[in-house]
């Protein structure tokens, strides 16, 4: 039986998805997440859970969260971890802000849609404890310089195939890796602005500011949930490789626009009352070209401004500073741009379903382009999966206001071409040398991988290994040398046998959904009647109390019957893992959200109770994981050194490294022994 509801009902989401999560109790099963993922993103419906070993395929774009009317799907929160880093005096927290955040953040505080709140945003990040506030627009300029240089190299030397696709949208990159691995050589190897910002901070910036790179906590503030996936890609550790610091990520955390607003509200910051302030000087300067990165067509327009001047050695013409053909909310836009003697044919796309259409036309020779920009989200990054949402307003209208705000900022910026940014010029002079240099290739460029197997794992799929200490899952032919989470060695990993895809006769049917609802209803009734019994007993109605308890036990049997029917009961190790996952979801997601909402609505006492119960659930998870480790390592009834064991049946005490096969007093088996620890 699948662990997911039928794909006819909603999109499946894995618990270990780094970008998004679902609060089950809030899901109203409306199907809006299913529809946008199928019709606009082009993922839902392209695979079956049976083929993927019951594993969801996801490009991490977060558009399902943007349309969810019940906020059952949200980004996976990281701001609490950053708040803890801020409290650590040994850490230097550096925030880098994407262009689209500054034209959407104000909406979370009741301001006009599309309001440019750059100065207040910087002040907010300082108020939350940031040591340095940098502008990712700086890295957008850096990305344009590298990407434009690569485009010119492709066109003039034929060293790589055309058309060149942009690579700054991580959801699009992952989509290409899964659905179109044949075009991976066409993707620009230039990292996204965040991908370039991270390693540049931990090398160039750290040296310039005399900061120990290992003390830096890099935080990207973005409109995008897919960035949470991107920063965790194995190849995003180039600063650590250069510095000889093992396992150091270039960018440590990503928070979305919505997360930043949530953090600000929880911290009690009055956003509207904040004074405006400026970015820090180093890596804080940007051009108009970097600013429009957040808009669909913005990357294309910015790249062409620089490419034109690189090729012709002349100032780009006025129409490249307002390239109307690639602006606006059209899903597919085209233009032909005269650059010297060459007409550069370009396309601008948003929506990966639209990208499919263009790719097909290119492959069959119907269309020929030199350069194609692809953004997954509507309108580009300004419509990202982590942006404020207003389901009562027209989405395109909101996005257009954000787009207009960024274009207005571009026109008011003194320098509007990326290669003219004085800080970028200094960066190349002092550190990278020149575009596409050996060091630039090492730090600012990346590679891609064929992920098409995610659509249907065969016999050659990778093995899974679970860390018995913290539960981390590693995929590969062998266990890793060291767990990236708890740092334990390879000896702490055990091979996880793949669960077979559900072969249940109910899979994907309404009956499957009905069985799940029946289980939920019977479980709630069982607990409810138990509470009613306690009340009746307290009030002196012993018979009624007994009837309530009798009915409660019957409801428990009904619940068990339905659970076994649609899910099945695993062995003890499997059940401990399931239990630990459930407890983790409760303390990391469910109770954290409940406490926040209770506090927002003025129920402080209840919020504290939610937080206290969350701590208990955390202890439950840790206990289950320890028990799971003991079961998997056959240590439930064994220990290193002499241990006090007690028979749970009669109280007999035994000392030794292992519990006896049976109790010498009452005769009960080893199974009834437990490790005994006194607490008095």
The gap from C-alpha 310 to its chain's centroid, in whole angstroms, comes to 37
Catalytic residue, candidates 214, 235, 499, 611: 235
418 flagged as catalytic:
no
Distance CA 174, CA 171 (A): 5
Q: How far is CA 633 from CA 465, 628, 630, in A?
A: 14, 8, 5
Catalytic residue, candidates 61, 168, 224, 377: 168
At residue 438's C-alpha, the angle toward residues 437 and 441, to 5°, is: 85
Largest CA distance in the chain: 98
- Can you tell me whether residue 561 is helix, strand or coil? helix
Burial (CB < 10 A; 0-12, 13-18, 19+), residue 148, is buried
Of the candidates 536, 443, 402, which has an alpha carbon nearest to the alpha carbon of residue 236? 443
Catalytic residue, candidates 58, 64, 377, 381: 381
Q: How far is CA 249 from CA 132, 200, 246, 484, 620, in A?
A: 18, 12, 9, 11, 30
Catalytic residue, candidates 75, 107, 230, 621: 230
List residues bridging with 658 in a β-sheet: 638
Of the candidates 394, 367, 380, which has an alpha carbon nearest to the alpha carbon of residue 330? 380
147 flagged as catalytic:
yes
Q: What are phi and psi of 371, to 5 degrees?
A: -145, 130
169 flagged as catalytic:
no
Of the candidates 474, 475, 479, which has an alpha carbon nearest to the alpha carbon of residue 453? 475
Q: What are phi and psi of 38, to 5 degrees?
A: -80, -50
Please tell me the number of Cα atoms within 13 Å of 2 on its side-chain side: 23
Catalytic residue, candidates 188, 192, 405, 417: 188
286 flagged as catalytic:
no
Do 254 and 227 touch, CB atoms closer than 8 A? Answer: yes
According to the 3-state scheme, what is the secondary structure of 628-659? HHHHHCCCCCEEEEEEEEEECCCCCEEEEEEC
Catalytic residue, candidates 191, 227, 409, 577: 227
Distance CA 201, CA 206 (A): 6
Catalytic residue, candidates 75, 118, 147, 583: 147
192 flagged as catalytic:
no
Catalytic residue, candidates 107, 108, 118, 150: 150
430 flagged as catalytic:
no
666 flagged as catalytic:
no
Element (H, E) at 534: helix 510-538
Active site residues: 147, 150, 168, 188, 227, 230, 235, 381
């Amino acid at each position: 039986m699948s662990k997911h509801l039928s794909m006819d009902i909603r999109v499946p989401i894995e618990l270990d998805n780094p970008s998004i999560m679902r609060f089950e109790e809030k899901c109203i099963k409306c199907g809006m997440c299913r529809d946008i993922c199928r019709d606009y993103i082009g993922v839902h419906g392209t695979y079956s859970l049976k083929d993927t070993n019951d594993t969801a395929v996801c490009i991490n774009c977060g558009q399902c969260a943007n349309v969810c009317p019940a906020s059952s799907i949200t980004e996976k929160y990281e701001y609490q971890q950053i708040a803890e880093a801020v409290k650590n005096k040994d850490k230097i927290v550096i925030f880098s802000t994407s262009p689209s955040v500054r034209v959407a953040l104000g909406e979370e505080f009741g301001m006009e849609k599309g309001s440019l709140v750059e100065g207040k945003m910087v002040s907010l990040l300082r108020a939350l404890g940031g040591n340095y506030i940098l502008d990712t627009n700086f890295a957008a300029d850096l990305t344009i310089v590298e990407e434009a240089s690569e485009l010119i190299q492709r066109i003039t030397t034929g060293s790589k195939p055309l058309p060149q696709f942009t690579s700054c949208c991580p959801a699009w990159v992952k989509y290409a890796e899964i659905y179109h691995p044949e075009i991976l050589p066409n993707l620009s190897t230039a990292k996204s602005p965040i991908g370039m910002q991270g390693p540049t901070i931990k090398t160039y910036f750290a040296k310039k500011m005399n900061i120990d790179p290992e003390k830096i906590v890099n935080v990207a503030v973005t409109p995008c949930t897919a960035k949470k996936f991107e920063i965790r890609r194995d190849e995003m550790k180039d600063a650590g490789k250069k510095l000889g610091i093992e396992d150091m990520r270039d960018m440590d955390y990503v928070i979305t626009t919505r997360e930043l607003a949530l953090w600000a509200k929880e911290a009690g910051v009055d956003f509207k009352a904040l004074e405006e302030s400026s970015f820090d000087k180093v890596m804080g300067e940007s051009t108009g070209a970097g600013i429009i990165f957040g808009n669909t067509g913005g990357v294309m327009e910015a790249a062409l401004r620089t490419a034109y001047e690189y090729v012709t050695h002349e100032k780009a013409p006025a129409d490249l500073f307002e390239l109307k053909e690639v602006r606006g909310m059209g899903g597919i836009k085209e233009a032909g741009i005269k650059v010297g003697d060459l007409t550069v044919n370009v396309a601008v796309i948003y929506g990966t379903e639209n990208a499919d259409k263009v790719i097909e036309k290119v492959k069959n020779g119907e269309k020929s382009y030199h350069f194609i920009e692809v953004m997954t989200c509507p309108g580009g990054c300004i419509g990202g999966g982590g942006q404020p949402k207003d389901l009562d307003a027209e989405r395109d209208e909101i996005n257009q206001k954000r787009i207009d705000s960024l274009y207005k900022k571009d026109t008011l910026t003194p320098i509007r071409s990326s290669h003219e940014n004085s800080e970028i010029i200094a960066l190349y002079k002092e550190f990278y040398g020149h575009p596409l240099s050996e060091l630039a290739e090492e730090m600012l460029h990346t590679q891609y991988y064929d992920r098409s197997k995610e659509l249907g794992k065969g016999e050659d799929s990778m093995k899974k290994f679970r860390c018995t200490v913290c539960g981390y899952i590693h995929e590969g032919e062998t266990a890793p040398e060291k767990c990236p989470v708890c740092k334990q060695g390879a000896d702490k990993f055990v091979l996880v046998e793949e669960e077979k895809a559900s072969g249940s006769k109910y899979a994907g049917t309404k009956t499957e959904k009905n069985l799940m609802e029946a289980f939920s209803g019977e479980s709630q009734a069982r607990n409810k009647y138990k509470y009613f019994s306690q009340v009746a007993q307290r009030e002196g109605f012993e018979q009624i109390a007994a009837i309530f308890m009798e009915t409660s036990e019957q409801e428990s049997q009904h619940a068990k019957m339905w659970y076994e029917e649609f899910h099945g009961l695993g062995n003890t190790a499997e059940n401990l893992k399931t239990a630990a996952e459930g407890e983790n979801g409760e303390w990391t997601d469910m109770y954290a959200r409940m406490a926040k909402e209770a506090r927002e609505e003025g129920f402080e006492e209840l919020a504290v109770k939610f937080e206290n119960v969350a701590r208990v659930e955390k202890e439950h998870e840790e206990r289950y994981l320890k028990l799971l480790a003991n079961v998997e390592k056959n240590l439930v009834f064994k220990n290193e050194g002499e241990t006090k064991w007690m028979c749970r049946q009669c109280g007999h005490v035994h000392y030794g490294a292992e519990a006896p096969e049976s109790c010498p007093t009452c005769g009960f088996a080893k199974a009834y022994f437990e490790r005994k620890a006194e607490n008095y």
